[in-house]
């Protein structure tokens, strides 16, 4: 609780952390710095807007080198912060393009990049939906689908799975425009400036595309609340709850009946076995007298 007792300016503290990252590229304390970045951004809401913009600049200027293996962890923290608090971003589109850049970084960090790209895409798609901008939504979908192909070819299976899932969702969204025969001119720059003098065809957003965007927005809805690592120990058990008891004990009747059936299947009379071994033709010819004669012969033997 007293970790930041003497810190009065958290913007200054974040600036110092970023400067340490830039000056100590080969440091072994990358994980510790990343934890501090996450802790401050989560626990101090008033500094989040400053934090997300600082993390965007960090992602943009961070240089990948063989000497910065430990410092890669700050990319994990930076990507997580800009994605989780994307509402505080000044330019979400620029941040999305930065995250979509191909980089030679560890797989668990690439996975965070893909996850936060999905969240930023959802925010931008929601903005297009609110502004009734179907052409912008089409351009955004095509752009993200193209850039995610680099993550699909990652050697990390988790990154491949996340990127493939994101591509499937965006392809479903993009397909709604094709199904409605509302394909638009793709010779338009991603930032919105037209490259031709031909006016852009105005189209409407299909109903199913609207539902897909709304469902994707629900995936990232909810407020993030910090929880201490040992907080679970302080949660009291409800009255009457016994974790050692069965919630739904198995019924005894079914188990006993099943055991009886197994016994009947295990113990079969020898006469029935011999009858099963006889050919079908012999079963037809055998009569009670022959059975009795065979029984007497076995007794004599």
Of 111-115, 236-240, 266-270, the one with minimum mean pLDDT is 266-270
Q: Return the axis-axis angle of helices 72-84 and 92-99, rounded to nearest 10°.
A: 150
Q: Where are the alpha helices (DSSP H) in 4-47?
A: 10-23, 30-43
Cα angle 88, 124, 52 (rounded to 5 degrees) comes to: 25
How many whole angstroms separate alpha carbon 19 and alpha carbon 83? Answer: 22
The structure tokens listed for 105 are 């970084």
What's the pLDDT at 184?
47
> If pLDDT is split at 50, 70 and 90, which confidence band does 55 have?
very high
How many whole angstroms separate alpha carbon 107 and alpha carbon 192? Answer: 33
Q: What is the CA radius of gyration of the chain?
A: 34
How many whole angstroms separate alpha carbon 144 and alpha carbon 161? Answer: 16
- 259 has a pLDDT exceeding 60: no
What's the pLDDT at 160?
92
pLDDT, tens digit (0-9, with 9 covering 90-100), for 168-184:
999 999 888 876 544 44
Q: What is the mean pLDDT of the chain?
A: 79
Give residue 283's Cα distance to chain centre. Answer: 64
pLDDT, tens digit (0-9, with 9 covering 90-100), for 82-129:
998 988 888 889 999 999 988 888 889 999 999 999 999 999 999 998
What's the pLDDT at 168?
92
b (16+ CB within 10 A) / e for 17-36: bbebbeeeeeeebbeebbeb
What proportions of the chain, in percent to the nearest 5, are helix, strand and coil?
A: 65, 0, 35
The whole-number average pLDDT for the span 127-154 is 90
């Amino acid at each position: 609780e007293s970790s930041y007792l003497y810190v009065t300016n958290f913007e200054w503290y974040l600036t110092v952390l970023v400067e340490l990252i830039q000056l100590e590229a080969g440091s072994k304390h990358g994980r510790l710095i990343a934890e501090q970045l996450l802790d401050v951004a989560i626990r101090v809401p008033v500094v989040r807007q400053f934090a997300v913009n600082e993390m965007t600049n960090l992602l943009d200027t961070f240089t990948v080198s063989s000497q910065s293996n430990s410092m890669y962890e700050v990319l994990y923290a930076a990507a997580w912060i800009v994605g989780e608090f994307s509402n505080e971003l000044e330019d979400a589109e620029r941040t999305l393009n930065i995250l979509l850049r191909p980089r030679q970084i560890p797989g668990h960090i690439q996975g965070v990049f893909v996850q936060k790209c999905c969240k930023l895409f959802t925010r931008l798609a929601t903005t297009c939906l609110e502004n009734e901008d179907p052409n912008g939504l089409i351009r955004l979908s095509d752009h993200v689908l193209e850039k995610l192909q680099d993550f699909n070819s990652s050697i990390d299976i988790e990154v491949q799975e996340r990127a493939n899932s994101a591509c499937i969702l965006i392809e479903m969204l993009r397909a709604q425009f094709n199904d409605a025969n509302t394909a638009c001119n793709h010779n338009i720059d991603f930032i919105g400036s037209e490259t031709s003098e031909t006016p852009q065809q105005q189209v409407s957003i299909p109903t199913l595309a609207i539902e897909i965007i709304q469902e994707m927005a629900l995936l990232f809805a909810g407020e993030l609340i910090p929880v201490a690592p040992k907080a679970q120990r302080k949660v009291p058990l409800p009255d009457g709850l016994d974790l050692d008891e069965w919630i739904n004990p198995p019924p005894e009747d079914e188990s006993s009946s099943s055991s009886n059936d197994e016994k009947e299947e295990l113990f079969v009379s020898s006469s029935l076995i011999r009858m099963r071994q006889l050919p079908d033709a012999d079963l037809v010819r055998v009569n009670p007298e022959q059975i009795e004669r065979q029984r007497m012969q076995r007794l004599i033997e």
